[in-house]
Amino acid sequence: MAKKVITFGEVMMRLSPPGYSKFSQATSFELVYGGGEANVAISLAYLGIKAAHVTRFPDNALGRAATQFLRQHWLSTEHVFYGGNMLGKYFLEKGAVHRPSEVIYEREGSSFSLIEPSMVNWAHVLKDADWFHWTGITPAISEGAKMCCLDAIKTANHMGIPVSGDINSRSNMWKYGETMQEVMPELVQNCDIVITSRRGIQEMFGLGESGGKFRNSAKLLMETFPKIKKVVGKTRKSISASHQQIQGKMWNGQEYIKTEMLNITHVIDRVGTGDAFASGLIYGLLHYDDDIQALNFASAACALKHTVPGDVNMVSLENVVSLMHGDTSGAIKR
């Protein structure tokens, strides 16, 4: 029977100049929808997981279009709520070779930012769920989003549902009066799986040293928050905007493991690659007994997302397993 995963977070409209044009060259924009947690849910749906995303949209044509996007990609939208007037959006100028990508956000006052804990019955939402996933972006958006996320995590804990948090946050998003250093410990202490970086652990929790090793920072994080079972991250080597290398790594409380480096020589779209890694990790941990297999699956999913335009990793289980087992040929499947 297919596993069921619930995610929670904002979905935004993404607007990009065609191809690799700069904003100054644009006379039109390509439109897709995306958001870290929804990206994870959709990627999992393409892998055969039953997935539902919890969010809030404006009750207008744009909100309905965003809802249809989620449905189109096999997500349950029974827990999409409506209210407010604005759909969050961001503008992406895609980089190439030595020119980096650039992102401009317009999300302040969005429908999702005005969400309140009383709007979501988490015991109902999480009924029959096998996993709950959140990211560090959500509690940074607003007080209401933070409290909603905390309620979800605590309810999942009470119901015995594993919780994963991808907690690499952006410090410049915290504008409602609390800092990530004040908020994140209460959320993270109730997680089973944490996806982060050495730098993230130091910035959010004051653990580890600048220039230190990921495994040492991961050990300190697990000692500080004993409920955490695994701390997972990835090494990214950026040769250029068009050429990246990816390696997964994990401290599971007993050993430090890492994958082989995957070489991505022709990046199509880097946005959403971290979400692809998270979705691959969740799938791997739900289906493999061996942590290294789960980590290899996550790294393969992440690498494949670099080849897919848009926010979401719309690749099949067969694609990921093939790359996981070493097939880098990209040969035509007939």
pLDDT in tens, 140-167: 999 999 999 999 999 999 999 999 999 9
State both tokens at 191.
Answer: 């997680």
| 169 confidence band (pLDDT: 50, 70, 90) | low
pLDDT in tens, 29-87: 999 998 999 999 999 999 999 999 999 999 999 999 999 999 999 999 999 999 999 99
pLDDT in tens, 238-273: 999 899 999 999 999 999 999 999 999 999 988 899
Q: Give the DSSP letter of residue 119.
A: G
* CA–CA separation, 113 and 94 (whole Å): 26
* CA–CA separation, 302 and 281 (whole Å): 10
| 170 confidence band (pLDDT: 50, 70, 90) | confident
Position 2 scores a pLDDT of 84
Sign of torsion over alpha carbons 33, 180, 158, 283: positive
- Its pTM stands at 0.94
Tell me the percentage of the chain whose pLDDT exceeds 70.
99
Sign of torsion over alpha carbons 277, 283, 285, 291: negative
pLDDT in tens, 96-146: 889 999 999 999 999 999 999 999 999 999 999 999 999 999 999 999 999
* CA–CA separation, 17 and 101 (whole Å): 12
Position 334 scores a pLDDT of 62
Give yes or no for a contact between 280 and 300, defined as CB atoms under 8 angstroms apart. yes
* CA–CA separation, 87 and 12 (whole Å): 6
What is the average pLDDT score of the chain? 95
Position 270 scores a pLDDT of 87
Give yes or no for a contact between 279 and 39, defined as CB atoms under 8 angstroms apart. yes
* CA–CA separation, 126 and 242 (whole Å): 40
Position 328 scores a pLDDT of 85
Position 332 scores a pLDDT of 66
* CA–CA separation, 297 and 309 (whole Å): 20
pLDDT of 1 strictly over 80: no
Position 163 scores a pLDDT of 98
* CA–CA separation, 50 and 80 (whole Å): 16
